[in-house]
Amino acid sequence: MIDQAMNVRCRTAEVLRVCIDLEPVTFNRGFFACDLSFFFLVSLDIFTAPHSQPCEVKGITVFQKKVILYGSEGSVKTFSSEFCCEDTEEPCQAGNNLPKCVVQVVDPVVLSAQVCDTQRCCEPCCCVPNCVTARLGGEICPDRDKGRSVYVTLGVFSIIQMVRNVALLIPVYDFCVPRKECETTTDCPCDAFKRIKFPTDEFFPPKDCECGQDDTYTCCPC
């Protein structure tokens, strides 16, 4: 059907799967190379004659990308009670604290779709996982050296992150026992007046006198 197509129109495109291959960079410690393979399910309308009804065809398109991100080093083995050590047939399973590559992607924007000869637009093929082919409901047609193919241009927005589990040290303090007894407050004005100290200095003159020593009489003010 593609060989007899006069025109093609792309209906929709959605992300099916992103395969991630993570490998450490040899000469840069803490850096990792992330090989990403985006698999998209594309729905096409094939027109084989002018003013004819289109035929819907679904296909898979692949986009590959490679990025290098910093994720620090991780050489610690982690053991958990989740795995049982009584089974001697299986090897002991231990986790690690290596970083993980996480990709967030939205459904792509269809920019263009065209039919061209396969020989002119030859690109390297990629192994398609079984979970991707299962969405088509059948097997994918093998690559042909001759004939025509549909090539779709998609705009993809994605965020690629390197994440890992880290331990946070949080200070913890013991219970603080109050040393001072808390006094209960009441609304009674008489109880509040009893706690006020008596103002002795307001009723009696100060003890120090500024009078001269030769004076016979006291000169302290009354």
Q: Residue 61's closest CA among 21, 120, 20, 110?
A: 110
Of 52-56, 181-185, 210-214, which gets the smallest average pLDDT?
Answer: 210-214
What pLDDT is attached to residue 210?
56
Task: Judge whether residue 35 has pLDDT over 60.
Answer: yes
Average pLDDT, the chain: 76
pTM, two decimal places: 0.63
The position carrying tokens 């590959």 is: 64
Q: Which amino acid, residue 126?
A: C
Which helix (H) or strand (E) segment holds residue 192: the answer is helix 189-194
Alpha-carbon distance 151 to 124, whole Å?
13
